[in-house]
Amino acid sequence: MADQKKLAIIATKGTLDWAYPPFILASTAAALGYDVEIFFTFYGLQLLKKKLKLQVTSLGNPGMPMPMPMPVLLQALPGMQAMMTTMMKAKMKSKGVAGLEELRELCQEAEVRFVACQMTVDLFDMNPNDFIEGVEFGGAAMMFEFAGDADMSLFI
Amino acid sequence: MANFDQELDASGLNCPLPILRAKKAISSLSAGQVLRIVATDPGSVKDFEAFCKQTGNELLESGEEGGKFVFSIKKSS
C-alpha cells in the first residue's frame, strides 16, 4: 500500500512505567494500519529482554501518585523500589491494563519492526541472545532510513 | 440492531486491548460481516469511533447496555 502511514518511535527508557507508551502506541498504530518501527536505544534496550525485570521508582519523580505522603529519604531505603514495583503491577492488573509481554507480542504479531541500537548494545556489553526473537540491529542511519519518510516520529 | 456474525467480550480490559482484540477479530471476518463488541473501558467509546474512522470499517452502533458499552462494527473490505 503506497499510502500507508508510517510511525517511527525511539524508545529510550527502561522502567516499568515508561515501557508502556512505546508498546501501546506501536500496537495501536499497527491496528490502525500504520507501518511501525521502534528503535530501542540506551535503557530502552531493557524492553527487548526475553525476561522483563522492569521496575518503577518514585525517586526524582515527584509526579508519581503515592498512596501516602512519604519523605524522599524514606523512598530511597532498600526494598522501597521493589515494593513500589509490586504495588504498581498489582494496580495495573486490577485495572485491566495489559501486561508488557502481551503488548510486545501483539506488536510483533502486527509486524511492528524492532531495531536495537548496536552501539548501546556494545556499550553496555549486552548479549543479543538475551533479547527476544525477531530483533534487528542497526545504527542511527538505519533509524533515519525509516523515520525520514515517516508521518510521525516520537522520542520516548 | 441485533444481527451480528461474531461477538467479542472485552469487559475488564483497558486501552489499547479492546481495540487490538477487535482488530484481530475483524481480520477473521469477511467483508460485510458484523462484529459486536462489549467493553467496560469508558475510553473505548471515543476509541472505537476513531478506529472506524481511520480503518474505513463502519460503526453501526455505539451505545450502553446494562452498564457496559456495546459496539457493532461492519467490516468494509
Q: Which three cell numbers stand for residue B34?
A: 458484523
Cβ distance of B15 and A27 shorter than 8 Å: no
Convert the pLDDT of each residue in B32-63 to its tens digit: 999 999 999 999 999 999 999 999 999 999 99
Q: Complex ipTM, two decimals? A: 0.85
Question: What pLDDT is stored for residue B36 in this prediction?
Answer: 97
- The alpha-carbon gap from A31 to the nearest alpha carbon of chain B, in Å, equals 6
Rounded Cα gap, residues A115 and A10, in angstroms: 10
| Total length of chain A | 156
Question: What pLDDT is stored for residue A2 in this prediction?
Answer: 54
CATH superfamily of A6-58+71-155: DsrEFH-like (3.40.1260.10)
Closest-approach residue (CA) in chain A for B11: A96
Confidence grade of residue B2 (pLDDT, cut at 50, 70, 90): low
Question: What pLDDT is stored for residue A66 in this prediction?
Answer: 86
Share of chain A above pLDDT 70, in %: 99
Query: Are the beta carbons of A48 and A117 closer than 8 angstroms?
Result: no
What does each C-alpha distance from A100 to A68, A130, B42 come to in angstroms?
27, 17, 22
| Partner-chain residue, chosen from A32, A96, A106, that has the shortest CB–CB distance to B12 | A96
B52 has catalytic annotation = no
Convert the pLDDT of each residue in B16-40 to its tens digit: 999 999 999 999 999 999 999 999 9
Question: What pLDDT is stored for residue A107 in this prediction?
Answer: 96
Q: What is the mean pLDDT of residues B64-68?
A: 93
* CB-defined contacts A:B, below 8 A: 31
Structural domain boundaries in chain A: 6-58+71-155
Closest-approach residue (CA) in chain B for A94: B12
Question: What pLDDT is stored for residue B77 in this prediction?
Answer: 79
Q: Report the candidate in A139, A127, A132, A130 with the shortest Cα–Cα distance to residue A41.
A: A139
Q: What are phi and psi of A69, to 5 degrees?
A: -65, 140
Which domains can be identified in chain B, with CATH numbers?
A: 6-74 (3.30.110.40)
Q: Is the pLDDT of residue A115 over 90?
A: yes
Closest-approach residue (CA) in chain A for B24: A31
Place of cell 502481551: A102
Give chain B positions within 8 Å (CB) of A27.
16, 20
